[in-house]
Amino acid sequence: MEDEILYLDRPGGSSLAYCYTPAKPGIKGTTLVFLPGYMSDMEGGKALALDSWAKAKGRAMLRLDYAGCGASSGEFEEQSLIDWRDDVLFLIDKVTSGSVTLVGSSMGGWLMLLVALSRPMRIKAMVGIAAAPDFTDWGFSQDQKMTILRDGKLEESSEYSDDPYVTTRVFWQSGEANRLLHKDIPFDGTVRLLHGQNDQDVPWAYSLEIAKKMRSADVQVHLVKDGDHRLSRDQDIALLVDVVSRLP
């Protein structure tokens, strides 16, 4: 049976779509919150696989769509990185209780870090999957950055979608204003970072850089030599579930 999609209206924002399964009585553990990547949604393979595992274990889990993505309302090209961070914070505050483990894929890994810094008393652990903080800096050539600033957006073909990969000026400027890797990241919880060494979109060295910048000592990086950016193969998802299952 498919999960019922629920909606909450964020004041001054969009109607946000989410699926939430509460913990079964007597089951301990943090609430898992999955944060999709750029132009992705809560129906991706990793999110659904983790959701299935959580249900089997009786764990609470929240999946969500950022404004302008998936089943949420709003125009995609009007959203900024901080708008999406605030979408996540709103749903965590309104839907969940107790401690939280964030699982962030690609751009969701950037949002994961921003959310953890905004809710230090709630976030107990983070799991990054090809986490991509600061990609507005290193992910574009100088010519592409100038196109974004001059034309208001950059459109590129995407191997993951028939729709073009669109980066707007409002998103890019928001990203540049919220870069994290130039200084230490003041988070003291558990951090696990998964990254494919055959990732053609986000160099795996960025997971090492995140680990280096983390104030926490409880940080591990799991490198998958033949893994790509998505880490969506059966063995990749098995690794993700194993890592999550071992979190304290």
Distance of alpha carbon 25 from alpha carbon 65, whole angstroms: 27
Alpha-carbon dihedral sign for residues 177, 182, 186, 190: positive
Order of strands across the sheet with 15-21?
6-9, 15-21, 61-64, 31-35, 100-105, 123-129, 190-196, 219-224
166 neighbors 147 (Cβ within 8 angstroms)? no
Mind telling me the catalytic residues? 106, 199, 229
